[in-house]
Amino acid sequence: MGPSGKRGFGGGSSLFGREGSDEISVDLNLTPLMDVMSNILFFLLAAFGAAVVSYIAVSVPVQSDGPGAEPKLDAVTVNLRVLPGEYRLSASNEKVEAAKLDAHRKALPKVDGAYDDGALSEALYRIKLDFPATDTLVIVPSETTVYEEIIRIMDAARERTVDGKKLRLMPKVVVADLVKAETAP
């Protein structure tokens, strides 16, 4: 018993305020709730970022159209190497003569410090005119190539407006990497 003869804390107050009072003072600890909410927010943002990246349409490279399929004469494999100072464009097909393919081998240097996507689109258009069945572009980025540049290449390769009409150039894009040979010590 306390000095006043009542149970509890001295002065007629109890654990939840003074006895006989209508006012109750309660302190809530919101720290655990805020921790949970911040974790949920983090995972939602991470999932949204992954969902945006997953919607970029790229395809897996294939060796041929099927077992025993002969390479088409009106289609080539178009390769684009993205180097720090330029684009290098080439076309290949075992059944097409080398002189015809070499006409499409180009180096497109940067203009004013930026890649020339207009010249790239024009070069791809010329390849499409010579080889109308071509629909795939293989991009080989360098180690310094940024994500936004790959997206700009995909946009330049997708379609081109010719005489007010949209022409599909290379709607299938494959992002690949070079296999580096190990050097002997």
- pLDDT per position as a tens digit, 65-78: 555 556 567 788 89
State the pLDDT at residue 179: 57
The reply to whether 98 and 39 lie within a common domain is no
- Answer whether residue 6 is part of any domain: no
The string over 115-150, giving b where at least 16 C-beta atoms fall within 10 Å of a residue's C-beta and e elsewhere, is bbbebbbebbbebbeebeebebbbbbbeeebeeebb
Same domain, 162 and 83: yes
* Residues 163, 89 share a domain: yes
pLDDT for res 38:
93
pLDDT digits (tens, 9 = 90+) for 12-70: 555 555 566 677 778 888 899 999 999 999 888 887 766 655 555 555 555 555 555 56
Looking at the fold, whether 81 and 165 belong to one and the same domain comes out as yes
In a domain, 87, yes or no: yes
Q: In the prediction, which pLDDT does 184 show?
A: 47
The reply to whether 125 and 36 lie within a common domain is no
Residue 182 lies in a domain: no
- What is the pLDDT confidence band of residue 99, given thresholds at 50, 70 and 90? confident
Both 105 and 144 in one domain: the answer is yes
Same structural domain, 152 and 116? yes
Percent of the chain with pLDDT over 90: 18
pLDDT at 152 over 70: yes
* 47 and 81 part of one domain: no
Instruction: Provide the CA 9 distance to its chain's centre, in angstroms.
Output: 65
In this structure, the answer to whether residues 91 and 150 fall within a common structural domain is: yes
Q: Edge-to-edge, what's the strand order for the sheet holding 77-82?
A: 106-109, 86-92, 77-82, 136-141, 172-175
Number of domains observed in the structure of the chain: 2
User: Do 128 and 167 reside in the same domain of the chain?
Assistant: yes
For residue 128, what are the domain limits?
77-175
- What is the H or E stretch that residue 164 is in? none
Residues 36 and 103 in one domain: no
**Residue 130's domain is classified under what CATH number?**
3.30.420
Do 42 and 89 have their domain in common? Answer: no
User: Higher confidence at residue 179 or residue 143?
Assistant: 143
Tokens read off for 99 = 């002189």
In a domain, 4, yes or no: no
CB 153 within 8 A of CB 88: no
Q: What pLDDT, in 10s, does the model give residues 79-89?
A: 999 999 899 99
